[in-house]
Structure 1
Amino acid sequence: MRAKAAHAFGRRASGSTGALAAPGPYGGHGRFSDKARWYLPLALTVDVLGITFPVAAIFHATDQPHPLVCAAVAALAWVGVQAVRRRYAADVLGEHRGAGAVLRDWLMLLGVLAVLRTAFDQVAEPSYALAGLTAGPVLTAACRMLTHHHLIAARREAHAVRRVLVIGEPSSADHVVGHLAARTEHAYVVVGVVPVGNAKLECGAPVTARLGAVAPSGLAEDAGIVLGAARDHGAELVLVAPGPRLSAERLRRLSWSLHDAGLPLAVLPGLIDVAVRRVQLDAPAGLAMLHIAPPSRRGVQPVLKSALDRVGAGLGLLLLSPVFGLVAAAVRLTSQGPAFHRQIRYGQGCVPFTMWKFRTMVVDAEQRKPDLHGSNENDGLMFKMRRDPRVTRVGRLLRRLSLDELPQLVNVLRGEMSMVGPRPPLPDEVARYNEVEVRRLAVKPGITGLWQVSGRSELSWDETLAIDLRYVDNWSLSGDADVMARTLRAVVDGRGAY
């Protein structure tokens, strides 16, 4: 694990030296100042035109009163709603691509316009107004997705990031540095570590100073060491991983000095892969406390997810029936055996079910699998081969385009699977699961999911497990919609599909 952390830090930090050059006293490149300058003008242009043109065109075509004035008011209200909700703030632009926030803003816009319509006694037909306002949120969501993808690409080159100095005991610092360095979609780049105590640091991050294992009697000693290290590395943020040697009182005194010097401080609570929407801050009796909401298992969202799954599966089966016929004929005509392949998989709550796929392998593939175990290219419980000899020629094409998964719409319609979720495992895989791995089955498996859009078979087992657990704990309808949109790109790209 520590070797992986050191490798990840080197990979993440290696691209940051040039992009983060010439810092000021505590870093001259703010977390947001390095973002592309076109984010805000593009967002404002899309938001204004996405409302103005459709409303004006529909009002003019249907002879509604004051089409240009109504279009201008609607556009101004749309921009105003998003400005009030800080969608144009520098720390927000490009950070999110989910459709949920856009939908909530749009519903607020409808409320604002309803109040204005009543206050000014407008007689415009509401249905025409609603039709004119529909394009706005769609274009806004598309714009945010574009800027988000651009920002993620920029951060892979260490642009638009925030320079971080980590403080903590070496084992905790290693964990923090490795976790931040292994993923590049966030805004933080570790530029140095101030370990607490004399233990060896394994992550490979620069160390210019250390804090003593015992808290000093005065304020100046810890503060001088940390501020000096922050100045040397051009750090813009001090990130603390608390431990036994970094007590609450010691941390409190250090925070006073850092804040007096104008250097912000962040403290890690020790949790990983918890969505921000599940976190609520409280301070009873002056103690900082994080409330972590449980994952969504009951209530409106799971019921709505199930309903959308079944409706979507039904429509998909109906609309794709010609594709089913063509694929089935291609499978039957090019290899011996049935068009469909049935396989026992495990679903939510470790309940087995029969999963349907188009057959992509020879009919005796299961019998030949034991002979190929030595060629397994996956480092965990899954069996994957880039050039599996059991896959037919048509099967390779079906896997490349993910068409072999289409019959699973039947499983979704029956309630055994979802449109989005973890990959459904095989019985022999589940038999070897530990108590952490079995948590993948706390939700319904999906036809697509974070695994499919994050590299599929190219991911290691640990990466696959981490992605699935992140989904299990943090899923939401807006997140599912985002995965569905990314699935199309993954299918076209075909990376990891074999």
Structure 2
Amino acid sequence: MGTPARAKKPDSGHGGAPTALRRRFRPRGVGPATDPSLRVERRQRPRDVLGDYPQQAVPRRLLERERNYRRSLFAADLVAGLLALVLSLAVLGADTMSAPAALFALPLLAGLSKLHGLYDRDDLLVRKTTIEEVPKLFQHAVLATLVIVIADGHLGIGEVGDRQALALCGLLVSLTTVCRMLARRVAGGMSQPERILVLGSAEAERNLHERAAGRVGAEFVGAVPLERVGSHEDLRRLVGAFDVDRVIIVPSDLAAATDTPELIRAAKAAGVRVSVLPGVLDVVGSQVEFDDVFGVTLLGVRRFGLTRSSRAVKRGFDITVAVLAGLVALPVVALAAIVIKLDSPGPVFFRQERIGFRGRRFRMVKLRTMVDGADAMKGELAAQNEVADGMFKIAEDPRVTRVGRLLRKTHLDELPQLYNVLRGQMSVVGPRPLIRNEDERITGLDRRRLELTPGMTGPWQILGSHRRIPMGEMLKLDYLYAANWSLWNDLKILLRTAAIVLRRHGV
């Protein structure tokens, strides 16, 4: 049976629903879209379908999408490898690197990517990113370069020097990363958005929708409580009625978690991809070790906080970034200071007491973006506060100056915090530095966030560039950041923050 073509999504005429649960859904493919007897009301939600009609999803569309990604990534690796080798041969010359040895590296790179699952991992992911692959791509580039160097030595054609080898390795890593990013964009453009059904609470679906919709090529069709999915047939009906490509299972408690294996089997039988949001990771983080004790699987959980050696590595990273960024930022800050003085009366810098490592207080420095005496105006504007939990945020804050809006939009107002980083009061990446009133509202185990030095940026800033995040979620992000800390994670957060700044998103 051929794959039914997708009908163009009709315009509901409502200009976009306010929440994921109020969106209008229209089933696609074989079923309601083609058979009037099976047609459902436009306001129908996934939870209303159970018991109406059976419908089996056709997995061929999923297979075609996955093939698009695999082929695009394979082509990207070959193109990147060829470009790197051509550039290297052009610069180094054919007498210093043999073409046969260089060309042998191409299938080696592709084979290593296949061995490490870099062509198949997109099948498992909702958010298909390249940055997570960079460590493995670096390993592949190093190994390919070693093969070329050793092969050239044995062939006696020439000798690749240290600088040439480093240049080749760097080209392989950078070009492969860029080509893979472009390949994912191309493959995503060739495919329809992945339609996702959440089996769990409406809150879980709304949270996933806010974080992912519009940014990962996903379309959330809604949520169904786990207790409503009583059998394999129920799930097949939902998958068929709403043309679902992926099911995300969100167990709400231990009882629901025990049903998860059965739901996974049912989803696989329906021909869709499955993702599971394990509640245990909210507490232990994602960096766990699977420990097989004679057939019994245990999770080895890392302790909270950083070891002394990790703190030393992180501090060295902070100093390096602060010095290099400070040299670039110095003329920018000087120019901004002149503009601030011309725009409004008051000091150039804004200093505010924040709570740092283990509760130590320090004065955080920023470029002034508000009128002088803005703190004294909080009482007058309390009614306009848009967030709870002791935090104070107003989208269109009247205290912000004209120049201040530009500085906030580009995050240039935060550059003086590099001074705090050099003094050891802040880190480049870390939890959000809170004022005293906000810190006093944090109690219990949540205060363990103080075991980390507050940062100029962090997970809270990346998510906050797209939406306001409440205090409770920010504390959870701080905890997971500490539980999963690594230098590579810090670098990823820094790169994502730089991307946000370049796109001029406001926080």
TM-score (norm 1): 0.75
RMSD (Å) for aligned C-alpha atoms: 4.3
The whole-number CA distance in structure 1 between the counterparts of 2:309 and 2:270 is 48
Matched, 1:97 2:97: no
Offset at residue 409 of structure 1 (A)? 0.6
Give unpaired runs (5+ residues) of structure 1.
1-5, 167-171, 197-206, 212-221
Match of 2:113 in 1: 82
Match of 1:129 in 2: 165
Match of 1:490 in 2: 500
Offset at residue 368 of structure 1 (A)? 2.4
Match of 1:169 in 2: none
Query: Alignment length, in residue pairs?
Result: 458
Offset at residue 232 of structure 1 (A)? 6.5
Offset at residue 303 of structure 1 (A)? 2.9
The whole-number CA distance in structure 1 between the counterparts of 2:187 and 2:450 is 33
Offset at residue 69 of structure 1 (A)? 2.9
Identity score, percent:
29
Paired amino acid for 2:137: V
Deviates more, 1:49-58 or 1:298-307: 298-307
Q: Secondary structure at the match of 1:481?
A: helix
Matched, 1:43 2:76: yes
Q: Does the CA contact (< 8 Å) of 1:33 and 1:160 recur in 2?
A: no
Deviates more, 1:355-364 or 1:15-24: 15-24
Paired amino acid for 1:359: R
Paired amino acid for 2:131: R
Q: Which residue, 374, 377, 401 being the options, matches 1:368?
A: 377
Q: Secondary structure at the match of 1:319?
A: helix
Match of 2:4 in 1: none
Q: Does the CA contact (< 8 Å) of 1:278 and 1:294 recur in 2?
A: no
Paired amino acid for 1:97: I
Match of 1:159 in 2: 193
Match of 2:327 in 1: 318
Q: Does the CA contact (< 8 Å) of 2:319 and 2:422 recur in 1?
A: yes
Paired amino acid for 1:348: F
User: Relative to structure 1, is the Cα distance of residues 284 and 256 closer, same or farther in structure 2, using a 3 angstrom cutoff?
Assistant: farther
Offset at residue 236 of structure 1 (A)? 6.9
Q: Secondary structure at the match of 2:320?
A: helix
Match of 2:5 in 1: none
Offset at residue 421 of structure 1 (A)? 2.4
Q: Which residue, 125, 140, 152 being the options, matches 2:176?
A: 140
Offset at residue 263 of structure 1 (A)? 8.4
Q: Does the CA contact (< 8 Å) of 1:55 and 1:132 recur in 2?
A: yes
Paired amino acid for 2:115: V
Deviations 1:375-412 (A, max 9, x none): 22233432122333332322222222211111111111
Aligned pairs (5 A) from 1:77-476: 77-89=108-120, 91=123, 94-98=128-132, 99-113=134-148, 116=151, 120=155, 123-146=159-182, 159-160=193-194, 166=199, 177=205, 180-184=208-212, 185=216, 193=224, 195-196=226-227, 207=228, 211=230, 239=249, 241=251, 269-273=278-282, 278-284=287-293, 286-294=295-303, 297-298=306-307, 301-435=310-444, 437-456=446-465, 458-462=467-471, 463-476=473-486
Paired amino acid for 1:123: E
Q: Does the CA contact (< 8 Å) of 1:295 and 1:474 recur in 2?
A: no
Match of 2:39 in 1: none
Offset at residue 353 of structure 1 (A)? 1.2
Offset at residue 137 of structure 1 (A)? 0.7
User: Relative to structure 1, is the Cα distance of residues 138 and 329 closer, same or farther in structure 2, using a 3 angstrom cutoff?
Assistant: same
